[in-house]
Structure 1
Amino acid sequence: MIRRADILVTSAGRRVGLLQAFRRAGHELGAHTTVHACDMDPALSAGCSAADYAFAVPRCDHPDYIDALLDYCRAKGISLLVPTIDTELAPLARSVDRFAAIGCRVHVGPPELIDIVRDKGRTCALLAEHGVPVPRTYTPEEARRLSDPAHWPLFSKPSAGSASRGLCRVDRPEDIPATYDEPTILQEYLQGPEFTVNVFVDRTGDLRCAIPHLRIQTRAGEVEKGRTVRDPRFTRIARDLVAALPGPRGVMCFQLIDDERRGLRVFEINARFGGGFPLADHAGATFARWLVAEVLDMDSRASDNWRDGIEMIRYDAAFFRSSGAVAE
């Protein structure tokens, strides 16, 4: 009997590499795999163009978003739903049981985990309590009271920001704005090479793989040129980080800087597939295949046997079709 896995990638955007990884996963596992995708405007999404089927959904903060996904998953027999952007994680985390009732696993952590990682201040506080190295972090009010020049400059960022949005260097207390448009933190200004560590936690909660890559060059917060790096320091930090979080499962990534004075400092966690996942996948950390294997109740064979020194250099490609054509 041939196993079947229908996979839905939400907010597909430009995530063509991720969809291709799931399609390969089914082939390698000997399963019949259909890849679905959705976005607000699937006709203008490269990810939707790469899918077998695509459909339109409201914004992920719209009250009808979850119901639209549920209706589609029920109608198409979706067995695995994979979100790709931070803002959809919370509503999906709070709806896991509704999807499970129709036989669909949502690749998302529990609500308490998502609430932590979506708040950079809470993230750093929790990690510091568990011995994970993080940058010194302040509220704007605390930062205004830092009179010692040794504390400056600082780096301000929205507490729930992503894709490098709203980042700003602040050189003096008087440069801190009187108000911010959204909750904001300030952190010590770190200087040094930046890394992403992609991790896979199996369904029993065991960390099976931690694969770091150097972020050689980025675009809009996403790695454009990178290189895998095997270093035991990253593995130790990954184990402590996973142990500190409540109920992590599946794929996550975290970012850190190897500061020239303070060493490695973790400053952000993304509880989802990161944009640089294609590099990890090519190096042997085949997270998509391991997830599909779990859904099919197969041994994922997840391991830390990935290849060091693999480089990725991205470029833009294109889909061509008649105007107005949509995958479904």
Structure 2
Amino acid sequence: MPVKELRLLICSAGRRVGLLQCFRSAAERLGIQLEILACDLVPDLSAACAVADRAFAVPRCNDPGYAKAILDIVRDNQVNLVVPTIDPELMPLASVADDFAQLGARLHVAPTDIIEVVRDKRLTSETLEAAGVPVPGSLGHEALLADPDALGWPVFAKPSGGSASRGLQVFQNINELPDSFEEPMVFQQLLRGPEYTINMFVDKGGQLQTVVPHLRIQIRAGEVEKGKTVRRDDFRQIAEGVHRALPGLTGVACFQVIDDPDLGPRVIEINARFGGGYPLADHAGAYFAQWLLEEVLDRPCGANDDWRENVKMLRYDSAVYDG
């Protein structure tokens, strides 16, 4: 029988049942017993919390007490690995990374300087462009007002710190542009063409080991609902550029690309965490969850690029019942 060796905490677990299942499958392949803890604002209403071994209530991730609540769970339960799942919690946790290290837990979060870049879409674009990564032309609100034709029309607008497809807009001309917005916005060339997610795994030594693109065939609430893995050398080269631009990024990350028929592939955003479509990469043989566990266990990391192409994922609604 496997001996209990690790405890994992999945933060903001929500509906991430697929991610939880990937970690359970990884533990089976490794021959270890993995206890999965999950937390959320209202764990009784979280499907992932319902299927975890134990669940905890925590404040919202923008609450000043959020990081302490996560640290308390880690300390009280001897958690070995902490995996955040949404963008707004990355900086609060990264800011106390040393506290997690003192507790002997690996926090799967990039350093604060990386989070500052990836949480600001304008800064992301500037950083990537400086490293030679293809990105759409981008401007802030004032810059666009000062030079209305700099990007051409129509333009695509999104909150600079947004996520989950929140606040996306398209403006056809300068006359449609409001004088002000409730939050900082970034304006970009409107790209057309198929959209891809590129999942990447960087080992703890800083080597880019795996790049798994998948075509986002259909999207719902900002996450891929139908997708298919593809191999493309140009996407691998772009991932290498992202790695150069953000050398402190380790573990799991993903970025979005639109393959515009005129401009070619352009990176539109980066997520320094497991993406919502990660289970597709895992099913195709890119076992990011397993490789993280191997690193936490101090075992040789089996990260490789030998995953299967043309693996299709068709998500559907399911349910978890209680009572």
TM-score (norm 2): 0.98
Q: Distance in 2 between matches of 1:137 and 1:87?
A: 22
User: CA offset at residue 144 of structure 1?
Assistant: 2.2
User: CA offset at residue 247 of structure 1?
Assistant: 0.5
User: CA offset at residue 291 of structure 1?
Assistant: 0.2
Q: Which residue matches 2:270?
A: 269
Q: Deviations over 1:184-238 (max 9, x none)?
A: 0100000000000000000000000000000000001100000001010000000
**Equivalent runs, 1:159-174 vs 2, <5 Å:** 159-174=160-175
Q: Which residue matches 1:303?
A: 304
Q: Which residue matches 2:201?
A: 200
User: CA offset at residue 75 of structure 1?
Assistant: 1.3
Most deviating of 17-26 and 105-114: 17-26
Q: Which residue matches 2:185?
A: 184
Q: Say whether the 8 Å CA contact 1:137–1:186 is kept in structure 2.
A: yes
**Equivalent runs, 1:1-328 vs 2, <5 Å:** 2=3, 4-148=5-149, 151-322=152-323
Secondary structure of the equivalent of 2:124? Answer: helix
User: CA offset at residue 149 of structure 1?
Assistant: 9.0
Partner AA of 1:80 in structure 2:
L
Relative distance call for 1:147 and 1:70 in structure 2 (3 A) is closer
Counting aligned pairs with the same residue, the percent is 52
Q: Distance in 1 between matches of 2:90 and 2:11?
A: 11
Q: Say whether the 8 Å CA contact 2:151–2:188 is kept in structure 1.
A: no
Partner AA of 1:177 in structure 2:
P
Q: Distance in 2 between matches of 1:248 and 1:305?
A: 22
Q: How many residues align?
A: 322
User: CA offset at residue 2 of structure 1?
Assistant: 3.9
User: CA offset at residue 40 of structure 1?
Assistant: 0.5
Most deviating of 17-26 and 145-154: 145-154
Q: Say whether the 8 Å CA contact 1:3–1:30 is kept in structure 2.
A: no
Relative distance call for 1:150 and 1:65 in structure 2 (3 A) is closer
Which structure 2 residue ranges, 5 or more long, are not aligned? none
Q: Deviations over 1:58-110 (max 9, x none)?
A: 11111211111111111111000000000000011111110111111100000
Q: Distance in 1 between matches of 2:24 and 2:285?
A: 16
Relative distance call for 1:142 and 1:2 in structure 2 (3 A) is same
Partner AA of 1:11 in structure 2:
S
Q: Distance in 1 between matches of 2:212 and 2:50?
A: 29
Q: Say whether the 8 Å CA contact 1:133–1:266 is kept in structure 2.
A: yes
Q: Say whether the 8 Å CA contact 2:11–2:82 is kept in structure 1.
A: yes
Q: Distance in 2 between matches of 1:128 and 1:10?
A: 32
Deviation above 6 Å: which 4+ runs of structure 1?
none
Partner AA of 1:268 in structure 2:
E
Secondary structure of the equivalent of 2:266? Answer: strand
Q: Say whether the 8 Å CA contact 2:43–2:49 is kept in structure 1.
A: yes
Bigger relative contact order, structure 1 or 2, given CA contacts below 8 A and separation 6+?
Answer: 1
TM-score (norm 1): 0.96
Relative distance call for 1:148 and 1:102 in structure 2 (3 A) is closer
Partner AA of 1:141 in structure 2:
E
Q: Distance in 1 between matches of 2:144 and 2:136?
A: 14
Relative distance call for 1:90 and 1:310 in structure 2 (3 A) is same
Please tell me the root mean square deviation across aligned C-alpha atoms, in Å: 1.2
Relative distance call for 1:147 and 1:179 in structure 2 (3 A) is closer
Q: Say whether the 8 Å CA contact 1:203–1:249 is kept in structure 2.
A: yes
Partner AA of 1:259 in structure 2:
D
Most deviating of 7-16 and 91-100: 91-100
Q: Distance in 2 between matches of 1:83 and 1:3?
A: 22
Q: Distance in 1 between matches of 2:161 and 2:151?
A: 27
Q: Distance in 1 between matches of 2:124 and 2:67?
A: 26
Q: Distance in 1 between matches of 2:147 and 2:68?
A: 48
Q: Say whether the 8 Å CA contact 1:226–1:313 is kept in structure 2.
A: yes
Q: Distance in 2 between matches of 1:71 and 1:98?
A: 11
Which structure 1 residue ranges, 5 or more long, are not aligned? 323-328
Secondary structure of the equivalent of 1:185? Answer: strand
